[in-house]
Structure 1
Amino acid sequence: MPKETWESDEFGKSHEGRVGVLLEDRSVPEPVYIDSVSGGFGHRSTFWANYNGHPLSGPRAHVLRAVCACGWTGTEYPIDWERIGETALYEDEVVRTDADNCLDDWYRHLDDVEASTVAYPEDVNELLKKTDEALDALTSDAPAAALKAAVRLEILANSIGYHAANSAYRTMESEELGTALGITARAAEDLLFRYRRR
């Protein structure tokens, strides 16, 4: 079973994505309450396959589309219930393909977010790329040396992050920093706090 939500390492919760559904009236349904198998406490879920209109499930979905925590929505994929009949959504190959397409749409959205963020200088971009390639090769050839390099990079990242966060804290508003990094203002504040306390 695929994950209910998607998250990237770089943008975190600011751009958390999932397959969203629309009902026939174009409304967004409430999360579905799922009872636990043991009869204890259940949980609420927005997983798209739960919206099949069957007893103990959510209302019947009529459209799948990728949605993101930032408010972006992707291409709409209508569900052909005449063709599906009583088949569970997740068991239908066409609908599963459309759900996979939603994930692809979300990845393209992240590409657009990345393109809108502050750019590295070309020499820094090239250095990061070469470092990534060199350490990837080192991982296979000399894993202990790769681990040593990972520790060194972690120390370097903390030092750079500390000084950069202090400078950004003094010179930028949270909204401005968030926009530059492709994250929310709150996430930018959390990032500043995390690096400045080290």
Structure 2
Amino acid sequence: MIDDIEIDLKNYRFVAGVDEAGRGPLVGSVVAAAVILDEENPIEGLNDSKKLTAKKREKLALEIKLQAKSWSIATIGPEVIDEINILQASLLAMKKAVEALVIAPDFALIDGNKLPDLSCEAEAIVKGDARVKSIAAASILAKVERDQQMQDLHKEYPQYEFDRHKGYPTKVHMALLEEHGPCPEHRKTFGPVRRLLEG
């Protein structure tokens, strides 16, 4: 895992990496995280959260929370996602995560190709979670938080087996959605859910 971006960040004191988890699922919140790493206290093994096992992600999430200069997590719930759409909800979650950092960053590196509305300078980096350590750290925090939320939802609505598919439109999820109908946490504007509600 290397920082392979062509941006000179030497003039910036606090650089935050920002990423989100949960754009694709049919249920629950979209979660964003922002992380300012401490270069004098490096964390080994940072990578795109999708390339790590759940156990490794959880271990790294603890290290990030202990060793980063600053970190924060923000969530936007399904009602807001339905109201403003998933892209806008993702950008809003990222904005809130950056604003919640105890140390205000003077530059933010955002995963993807769109920038949230931030008060500091920022750059969008495609596949940033596989290229930039601070974005990878943010992707891990966001994914671990989102997975925990799905475990909690599973306890509330065990009939959907959210612990297995994490809300993604898998065959199992689609069959259970068909059988039980949507729960209050399902995103009502997402195609499969909307079609069921429209009958």
TM-score w.r.t. length of structure 1: 0.31
Where is the helix percentage greater, Structure 1 or Structure 2?
1
Higher RCO structure (Cα 8 Å, ≥6 apart) = 2
TM-score w.r.t. length of structure 2: 0.31
